Structure 1
């Protein structure tokens, strides 16, 4: 019965996707919005397989959620796969903007490469596509209206940090600053962990003392995480700052990440050598299941690389951050299993941060 339910849900989702595509294409042909969807293309280059000045707008949830997508160019290209580089299709786009009711997203350059038998060619651990982002920026208007996919990404990273393995961490430090109470700051004790590499200081915070403000900063260098689902997160540089303005009773949060990768690694059974013909037969027979998996969980079938990512929350409240609750819950469970008193841990943390020099 459960299998029939999943099949029905998959068929319903597929029909919804097909119907949306039909509405979008019909809207472009008719030159007017249709069913809450509108597509406009400035110019088409058939020989180059390129669309110029693309603009698409739509609405979801009874038009409570509206969004607009624009791109200066959107091009595709087909390739002859080679054993050393088995790509067959690439998608490229420049100057992408996604504006919605809850967030704004921009990407300078997007390149998506699709592979043929990636596991057989040892290109990936089975992922059919690799995504490369340059100049990736996300702006969330309010933390209590964070988009679902950002919540999932945040949850996955926190879970990997607390429940997975830390393969590498060259440098890590935190700082607490109070501004506005006096002209000088009261920095907390920095925690540093250095193994190798050159330390680079984060940009100094603003010294504006007109308002009473609390700033909590954290930075890390060469952070490599391995979660429990065969994914490896690597971050070259991570800089984060939380600001709390006591006068206006509001806060903001900024996160800057450089050289970020999200890569699927091989399971143990995948590392065992198998005949090439067996891998081809397995890939062909599992292709329909892979297509269904792509439609249901598209992010699980790609590897992602972003040269730089900027995430900004205009209005940020800690009680809206599920990662804080998740982190405290997991940390409390771990300390309980190790026989550590939770109250002592919090008290020692306060002493180390605010009291000790």
Structure 2
């Protein structure tokens, strides 16, 4: 009897949770639809409407293209403002084939997004929409493939990181801490004290310079530079996703005089793709693949509602991410690292005081 009650309560809890998520989805979707209507009406009346204003230079129905697109908006009582511009946006319908099961291609050039918290630019964006990707083996189940080229992100303050950049950092840090490293060809870490060490390395002092140094040679700044470089880094996260980087370089700078820091990340040929399930690699008749594709669609749609990026595979040719002001306590890897360390400590009942003392004795007292 008690087991039945517990089972009923658990099912009721799951049902209430599903209803709550569905209500949040409806609320979010309603907000998006309202915003789209305001944007469209502002374009028709040629004036801002509800802190939204869309201006399109010209359009081509024949080519299904928009030219000189400019959109400005504001949120939170105009505390957050943003501007989006694109010289050309176009869509192209395709006839799906077994070799290329694509039905729609979205293309945009020279995208630029400027907001209160960050600036983002993109040289080119190509988005392909697939028809039954599992059936045609085009992807491992992702319905959308997005290819980005020339991505540049500049965040002004790390404590005001945009939500989508924060989620990207969280997912990557979680993959590093909780996932599996499938491949890592080379990794190098360099720590350098710039400023005083540069003067000593040159074998000279400021008095030896007759002419003043050029403006870009700032030898009066003492800062700590930590650089990490890795090549062919492949990570597998618990969500059956692969992060693949051909090359990744990151540098953290900390100025001790002004108590400020900055962070730069450069990633080349980055991929975020879905991994095939074990049953997808097995041979099966065509009719079974068609049935599986049709049956899989509702589950993929529900997953898309809960997490829209679950239906997307990403490829970024080059990404440059810069934080003008970066604090160590805002580093996602540091925050999640301490959380993981605390969980492991509680799980294995590790006494860190004794562990540090034992390590000190083995290293210094009795090497």
Aligned partner of 1:127 in structure 2 is: 142
- Over aligned residues, Cα RMSD in angstroms? 2.6
Does residue 239 of structure 1 match 2:239?
A: no
Aligned partner of 1:198 in structure 2 is: none
Does residue 143 of structure 1 match 2:149?
A: no
Aligned partner of 1:301 in structure 2 is: 311
**SS of the residue aligned with 1:95?**
strand
Q: CA deviation at 1:339?
A: 8.9
Task: Decide whether aligned partners of structure 1 residues 331 and 3 sit closer, same or farther in structure 2, where only a CA change above 3 A counts.
Answer: closer
Greater displacement, 48-57 / 318-327: 318-327
Task: Decide whether aligned partners of structure 1 residues 222 and 251 sit closer, same or farther in structure 2, where only a CA change above 3 A counts.
Answer: same
Name the structure with the higher helix share. Answer: 2
**SS of the residue aligned with 1:120?**
helix
Q: Which has the larger radius of gyration?
A: 2
Does residue 171 of structure 1 match 2:181?
A: no
Q: CA deviation at 1:207?
A: 6.7
Distance 1:3 1:326 in 2: 28
Match of 1:108 among 113, 117, 123: 123
Match of 1:216 among 222, 226, 230: 226
8 Å CA contact retained: 2:173, 2:332: no
How many residue pairs get aligned? The number is: 331
Distance 1:211 1:3 in 2: 55
Aligned partner of 1:53 in structure 2 is: 68
Cα deviations by residue, 1:15-56 (Å, 9 ceiling, x for unpaired)? 222211111111100101111111111111211111111011
Greater displacement, 20-29 / 134-143: 20-29
Does residue 230 of structure 1 match 2:269?
A: no
**SS of the residue aligned with 2:309?**
helix
TM-score of the pair, normalised by structure 2: 0.83
**SS of the residue aligned with 2:62?**
coil
Does residue 86 of structure 1 match 2:101?
A: yes
Aligned partner of 1:154 in structure 2 is: 169
8 Å CA contact retained: 1:336, 1:342: no
Task: Decide whether aligned partners of structure 1 residues 289 and 148 sit closer, same or farther in structure 2, where only a CA change above 3 A counts.
Answer: same
Q: CA deviation at 1:152?
A: 1.3
Does residue 69 of structure 1 match 2:84?
A: yes
Greater displacement, 207-216 / 37-46: 207-216
8 Å CA contact retained: 1:231, 1:262: yes
Q: CA deviation at 1:285?
A: 4.9
- Unpaired segments of 5 or more residues in structure 2? 1-15, 202-215
Task: Decide whether aligned partners of structure 1 residues 333 and 317 sit closer, same or farther in structure 2, where only a CA change above 3 A counts.
Answer: same
Task: Decide whether aligned partners of structure 1 residues 115 and 348 sit closer, same or farther in structure 2, where only a CA change above 3 A counts.
Answer: farther
Match of 2:114 among 99, 102, 127: 99
Does residue 31 of structure 1 match 2:43?
A: no
Greater displacement, 64-73 / 303-312: 64-73
Aligned partner of 1:203 in structure 2 is: none
Q: CA deviation at 1:148?
A: 1.4
Distance 1:279 1:295 in 2: 24
- Unpaired segments of 5 or more residues in structure 1? 186-205, 353-357
